Structures are given as C-alpha cells and as structure tokens.
Amino acid sequence: MMQIKRKMINIADIMIEDNRWSDFGLQAIANKTFGIVFDALNLSSKWEISILACNDAKITELNFEYRDKALATNVLSWPTYNLKSKVIGQTPNKPELSDYEENLLGDIAISFDTCEREAIESNIDFKDHTIHLLVHGCLHLLNYDHINDADALIMEKLEARILKKMGIADPYTENK
C-alpha cells in the first residue's frame, strides 16, 4: 500500500541568532508543536509565528527593553492581536483568519542558555522543556496569561493537556 506523505507546514518563521538552536533542529520542533497547539484549539494552520532563537545576552536586552527587567528569562512573547476576554478567568477570544488581514499571531524570543539551565536544574529533557516553552509562548500570543490565579489555572491546564498529547509530563505537578 502506498503511503501519502503530508507536506510539512511552516508555521514558525525562525531567525537563528544562536547556532545551538540550528544544531537542535528548532524549525521542525516548533512547526510540530505549534501544529498540535493549533489542532487542540481548532485554529487554522495558516497562522504563523515568528521566533527569535537567541541566548541569554539577547533575551536580557529584550526583557529590559520591553518589560524593564534586566535579567534573562526563558521565553518572551509579543502578541499581534488583543484577544483577551473582558472577564478574568475566562478563555481568551479565538482568532479567526477572516477577521484579520495579517496571519502573524505574534513574535516569540527563546533563550537557549536559560532553557538549558532550567532543564538541567529541573532534571527534565531539554527538548521536552523547549516544547513546553514553545507551547507557553504560543498561548501567550493567543492572550492566555498567568498574571492572576484564575487565568493561570486556565493556561496551565491547557498547557498540561497539550503537553500530554505530546507525551510530555505536566510541568506544573509532576516536576515539583
């Protein structure tokens, strides 16, 4: 029987600033991860996400510029659209491509150094941790947040559900 291969959709537009990300295969991991997030949320695969794959020096600079915090972080997100619910503790609105001319959900910056350090400190696989951070960043682009407990609970449950589909342990319970 002949197998039909599906064409890999490039959801992620990646700018590599730290070559360790190229060696890691971030493009394939990001496309697969975002595809699973989009499937879980019933979103079109025509949405795109821009990623800056960098190191701690660059993400510290961005964190200071945009959040006034002079320290490295694992992932930063800049959503293109305001999809927030008007009520705390409710799921953000779902973006529909027909509502927008631009299909870019937003931008993510991810630091190799912090991802690696956190994975080692938590004794978890680097790839699994990176996937978790990509899911987390993607959900931020969709206006999920963790500023208050009610919104954090929604976001963390969704992250855990998506990660479970990928065979990755719930980072909010199983790694504590």
CB 30 within 8 A of CB 12: yes
Measured between alpha carbons, how far is residue 43 from residues 23, 34, 154 in Å? 30, 10, 18
* CATH superfamily, region 12-165: Metalloproteases ("zincins"), catalytic domain (3.40.390.30)
Domain segments of the chain as ranges: 12-165
Please, which pLDDT band fits residue 173 given cuts at 50, 70 and 90? confident
| Rounded Cα gap, residues 91 and 174, in angstroms | 24
Measured between alpha carbons, how far is residue 175 from residues 32, 99, 113, 117, 169 in Å? 23, 40, 20, 15, 8
**DSSP 8-state class, residue 124:** -
Pairing type for strands 48-54 and 12-16 reads: parallel
User: What digits encode the pLDDT tens for the residues 110-128?
Assistant: 999 999 999 999 999 999 9
User: What digits encode the pLDDT tens for the residues 30-41?
Assistant: 999 999 999 999
Q: How many helices (H) and strands (E) does the chain have?
A: 6, 4
Can you give the length of the chain in residues?
176
Is the pTM of the predicted complex or chain greater than 0.85?
A: yes
104, β-bridge pairs: 48
Selected residue with higher pLDDT from 100 and 25 = 25
Pairing type for strands 48-54 and 104-111 reads: parallel
| Rounded Cα gap, residues 95 and 98, in angstroms | 9
User: What digits encode the pLDDT tens for the residues 134-168?
Assistant: 999 999 999 999 989 999 999 999 999 999 999 99
Measured distance between the N- and C-terminal CA atoms of the chain, rounded to whole angstroms: 47
- Quickly tell me which residue has 């407990």 as its tokens: 149
Asked if residue 7 has pLDDT above 50, the reply is no
